[in-house]
Chains A and B, each alone.
Chain A
Amino acid sequence: MSDEKKLPYDAVTGKDLPPRETPGYYPGFSTMNQAGYWDDATRTTVKKRLHEVPPIRFFSAAEASLLEAMLARLVPQDDRTADRRIPILPWIDQRLFRNELSGFRYENMPPDQEAYRLGLTAVASMAEQRFSKPFGDLTVHQQELLLKSIHDGEPEPSHDAWDRMDVDRWWAMVLEDAVSAYYAHPWAWDEVGFGGPAYPRGYMRLENGLPEPWEVDEQRYEWNAPVDSLSGDTDAALPPHHGGSHGHGGTH
């Protein structure tokens, strides 16, 4: 694994971007610095998320370490300093432990808990079959080869778990859970320039992408995913049935 490039690199200079506290185009912006302007309930909720990461209660140690390795590829955080990586696994574990559903289950899917276990079993055995190593010991590239085959809906090698549940639905569930944990975190809000909670103060500069007096304007830099990464594509074409698989209250 020594020669692997795991860091994204500067698109102009070609040099690795060193890990930072807050990657992204809004240097110095911190939603938590605004927490004094939030209402009590919101501040408590967000601070708890920051400081009270739940213990692992649903997954076995082996399952947890496999999923942790997977999540490191689904939402890579190598560009973040070690102390500023956003926990994802504990929140998925908590959801399954508490049986927090999204309000529905597809008729061609087992219950979420069973689906997670089944899928992890499949990933573990696919790693052994294809590379004769546990998933966690594979190179990043090998891990991504396996994951990309699941993403593409054509798991390679095949595994009978995928006859028992829809591979696209499984992929969507795991990745949705992962992004739900990542982008719920104030450090991720800082990264994407989301102003965060704004009650009772509100927003006043509504048009033309203008920042509030307490927000930071964008300072872009061009960067690319690590050279050997298979997940760097910003438009990975998908089969049409991938649409609308989730229940977020995002729209109308």
Chain B
Amino acid sequence: MSFLPLGGAFKKPKAGKHYLGPMQTLPGPMRTFDPKETVDYAVIGVGSAGGVLLQRLARAGFKVVGLEAGPFWDTERDWVSDEKGSRELYWNDLRITGGTHPLALGANNSGKGVGGGSVHWASFTPRFHPSDFEVYTRDGVGVDWPLSYWDLKPWYELLEREMPVAGPAWFPWGDPHGHPYGPHPMGAVGDVLIKGATKLGIRTVAGGPVAILSASHGDRPHCIYRGFCIQGCKVGAKASTLITHVPDALMHGAEIRPHAMASRVVVKDGRVTGVEYFDREGQPQFLSARAVLVCGYAIETPRLLLNSACPGHERGLSNSSGTLGQYLMAQAGNVIAGRFDELIRMYKAPPAHALTEEFYETDPKRNFARGFAIQTVGPLPIAFAKQMMAAKGVWGWGLRKVMMDYNHWSALGVLGEILPWQDNRVELADDKDRYGLPVAKVTFNLHENDLRLIEFGKQKTMDVMRAAGATEVIQESRFAHLVGAARMGASSRDSVCDKFGRSWDIPNLFICDGSVMPTQGSANPGLTIQALAARTATYLIEQGDAIFTSTARPMNEPAIRYDQSPPFTKFKGNPRIA
């Protein structure tokens, strides 16, 4: 076959190099600790939070090892521009799902491999609103956070630079702010959202906020608008901790053990002493550590802590309150699809590139508390076929015919806040995984407020789609994201950990990932997870060796540190609005 060679990244990856994006390679040989050595920190799960923690703790000189259940991706060799070929990015192992509205897991919301979910997130990076941290005080629903927006704000600003985030100069909702990198060019789906919303007098932002480079940054090139964000960004433009924080972690002496499936956090005399795990060959191993950070996300974190039950902790670790596994949340993720007479071609441009948060806050005129966002999505053919199946009930010739119109459809996603409910939970199932460990059983039920919110959000988004000129508008009910199930709180009676993720029961055990969130707003959780991780890391560094020896629980906020960021990010990219 003949084609014009374009050079550059068309070159085959070089032998012996491990690629993190087309230009960045794994820095040098990774440090490896002696298997018998006691390290300072064991980080379980090198994902959105684990990557940031590993990087900062290594930079501060701690001996730190990350255990990652999945592979250590080489993006040039392992990743493809292909829907089906990307299935290994997800946590596909068995989980049982039930309740009145069972959650689809796996590809929908769980990553496996270094970088975790940040490898396959669409990378919308809105901040939570100030109101999200006090929904109980304001609306009498859910629960307040043990910290405020203003405590987290400096860490948001920091992580927006470390990723960095591209977006509009003026983001008008919540605490208004700008973004360090300029907004992306629009795609046809964003045009639909803006056109429809504008007709209805609804404000939108365009070209972000997304953790995708709109200009090159250090050794990462800018976006090429190929639309495969959630299949893993080979381009290296979309931020994942694999390419943003892990290289710096390794440069500073962190070790990552891929294919290491943690099976039990071990407790002795009231303190954790390390982690039992199965290595690549399925052999049981023990990593001795002075403190353990559990960063396995909203299902594997509670599962591991439940599976770690031992004398003195019969209900699982950090579960004296009984709330471990409870208050699991997913966001409403209804997809509204509209057919247009003109062509759209929604596979181009990042799925995430425009949104509105006009309906984010509680409106007393509506019959429910809290709200939702409307965001662009860009399903590729397989995902779109499944949506058409679910939304239209098509099969056979009808399915083939609808699919031939793929390029006439545009899709928008509702992102709706579902409140934390005690009966939405992670427990252990009777089924076992390949290591003989009980798998997670996930139960999810919608409650009255959730149902009203979803109905309103769905109708509003359909209105937008019609206003944009769609001649046929349909919807599919589904969910997006997972948070909660090991929530932080102000009191040990009704939460699993304190505001820094420290277990109420075991002073050298920390939880740091989406599972600590008490509520979720209607913002995508990725930025908040990483901001919380950076804050907890700085807290740990401030406390120094006291974490390993003391039971004291200082609650003062850590001072923001600008010297802990990865290279190329310090003060790079200046938001126009601070």
One of A52-60, A117-125, A131-139, A218-226 at the interface: A218-226
9 residue pairs A–B, Cβ–Cβ below 8 Å: A36-B3, A42-B85, A101-B94, A198-B81, A207-B187, A232-B396, A234-B401, A252-B124, A252-B481
Say yes or no: is B403 at the interface (Cβ < 8 Å to chain A): yes
Determine if A100 and B78 form an interchain contact, defined as CB atoms under 8 angstroms apart. no
Determine if B406 and A193 form an interchain contact, defined as CB atoms under 8 angstroms apart. yes
Say yes or no: is A15 at the interface (Cβ < 8 Å to chain B): no
Say yes or no: is A188 at the interface (Cβ < 8 Å to chain B): yes
Among all A-B residue pairs, the 3 with the closest Cβ atoms? A103-B106, A231-B396, A209-B343
A192 to B104, CA, bound (A): 27
Say yes or no: is A162 at the interface (Cβ < 8 Å to chain B): no
A102 to B234, CA, bound (A): 23
Q: Give A192 Cβ to nearest chain B Cβ, in Å.
A: 4
- 11 additional A-B pairs beyond A206-B225, A243-B391, beta carbons within 8 Å, are A37-B6, A39-B76, A75-B396, A147-B395, A203-B226, A209-B407, A225-B398, A249-B107, A251-B383, A251-B411, A252-B480
A73 to B398, CA, bound (A): 11
Q: Give A116 Cβ to nearest chain B Cβ, in Å.
A: 16
A206 to B227, CA, bound (A): 10
Residues of chain B from 199 to 243 with CB closer than 8 A to chain A in the complex? 224-228, 230-231, 234-235
The residues of A that contact B291 with a CB separation of less than 8 Å are none
Give the residue of B6, B92, B230 whose beta carbon is less than 8 angstroms from that of A103.
B92
Say yes or no: is A1 at the interface (Cβ < 8 Å to chain B): no
Chain B interface extent, by class: 35 or more
Q: Give B376 Cβ to nearest chain A Cβ, in Å.
A: 10
Determine if A248 and B396 form an interchain contact, defined as CB atoms under 8 angstroms apart. no
Output the nearest chain A residue to B397 by Cβ-Cβ distance: A225
Say yes or no: is B120 at the interface (Cβ < 8 Å to chain A): yes
The residues of A that contact B391 with a CB separation of less than 8 Å are 243
Say yes or no: is A175 at the interface (Cβ < 8 Å to chain B): yes
If A37-B6, A39-B9, A236-B398 touch, does A245 touch B390 (CB 8 Å cutoff)? Answer: yes
Say yes or no: is A74 at the interface (Cβ < 8 Å to chain B): yes
Say yes or no: is B544 at the interface (Cβ < 8 Å to chain A): no
Say yes or no: is B96 at the interface (Cβ < 8 Å to chain A): yes
Determine if A226 and B397 form an interchain contact, defined as CB atoms under 8 angstroms apart. yes
The residues of B that contact A232 with a CB separation of less than 8 Å are 396-398, 401
Determine if B403 and A183 form an interchain contact, defined as CB atoms under 8 angstroms apart. yes
Determine if B344 and A179 form an interchain contact, defined as CB atoms under 8 angstroms apart. no
Q: Give A62 Cβ to nearest chain B Cβ, in Å.
A: 23
If A104-B105, A204-B225, A250-B386 touch, does A24 touch B392 (CB 8 Å cutoff)? Answer: no
One of B146-154, B471-479, B483-491, B505-513 at the interface: B471-479
Say yes or no: is B375 at the interface (Cβ < 8 Å to chain A): yes
A107 to B393, CA, bound (A): 23
A236 to B372, CA, bound (A): 29
Determine if B386 and A176 form an interchain contact, defined as CB atoms under 8 angstroms apart. yes
The residues of B that contact A79 with a CB separation of less than 8 Å are 400
Say yes or no: is A201 at the interface (Cβ < 8 Å to chain B): yes
The residues of B that contact A199 with a CB separation of less than 8 Å are 9, 81, 224, 226, 228, 234-235
A102 to B92, CA, bound (A): 5
If A37-B3, A250-B383 touch, does A243 touch B401 (CB 8 Å cutoff)? Answer: no
A210 to B349, CA, bound (A): 13
Binding site for B on A (CB under 8 A): 8, 23-25, 33-42, 45-46, 49, 73-76, 79, 100-108, 144, 147, 151, 172, 175-176, 179-180, 182-184, 188-189, 191-211, 218, 223, 225-226, 229-238, 240, 242-252
Determine if B390 and A244 form an interchain contact, defined as CB atoms under 8 angstroms apart. yes
Give the residue of A39, A183, A210, A244 whose beta carbon is less than 8 angstroms from that of B478.
A244
If A183-B385, A244-B477 touch, does A100 touch B395 (CB 8 Å cutoff)? Answer: no
Determine if B524 and A105 form an interchain contact, defined as CB atoms under 8 angstroms apart. no
The residues of B that contact A242 with a CB separation of less than 8 Å are 390, 393
Give the residue of B188, B382, B396, B415 whose beta carbon is less than 8 angstroms from that of A209.
B188
Determine if B380 and A194 form an interchain contact, defined as CB atoms under 8 angstroms apart. yes
The residues of B that contact A203 with a CB separation of less than 8 Å are 224-227, 348-349
Q: Give B112 Cβ to nearest chain A Cβ, in Å.
A: 9
Output the nearest chain A residue to B429 by Cβ-Cβ distance: A107
A192 to B481, CA, bound (A): 29
The residues of A that contact B552 with a CB separation of less than 8 Å are none
A105 to B93, CA, bound (A): 10
Determine if B98 and A234 form an interchain contact, defined as CB atoms under 8 angstroms apart. no
Determine if B224 and A200 form an interchain contact, defined as CB atoms under 8 angstroms apart. yes
A101 to B439, CA, bound (A): 14
Say yes or no: is B548 at the interface (Cβ < 8 Å to chain A): no
As a 0/1 sequence over residues 83 to 98 of chain B, the CB contacts with chain A under 8 angstroms (1 = contact) are 1111101111111111
The residues of A that contact B477 with a CB separation of less than 8 Å are 240, 243-244
Determine if A251 and B335 form an interchain contact, defined as CB atoms under 8 angstroms apart. yes
Determine if A41 and B78 form an interchain contact, defined as CB atoms under 8 angstroms apart. yes
The residues of A that contact B84 with a CB separation of less than 8 Å are 49, 180, 184
Output the nearest chain B residue to A107 by Cβ-Cβ distance: B98
Say yes or no: is B61 at the interface (Cβ < 8 Å to chain A): no
Determine if B107 and A105 form an interchain contact, defined as CB atoms under 8 angstroms apart. no
The residues of A that contact B479 with a CB separation of less than 8 Å are 244
The residues of A that contact B441 with a CB separation of less than 8 Å are 107
If A45-B80, A45-B85, A244-B478 touch, does A8 touch B397 (CB 8 Å cutoff)? Answer: yes
A105 to B126, CA, bound (A): 32
Determine if A247 and B108 form an interchain contact, defined as CB atoms under 8 angstroms apart. yes
A237 to B394, CA, bound (A): 8
The residues of B that contact A229 with a CB separation of less than 8 Å are 396-397
If A35-B1, A103-B95, A183-B385 touch, does A208 touch B390 (CB 8 Å cutoff)? Answer: no
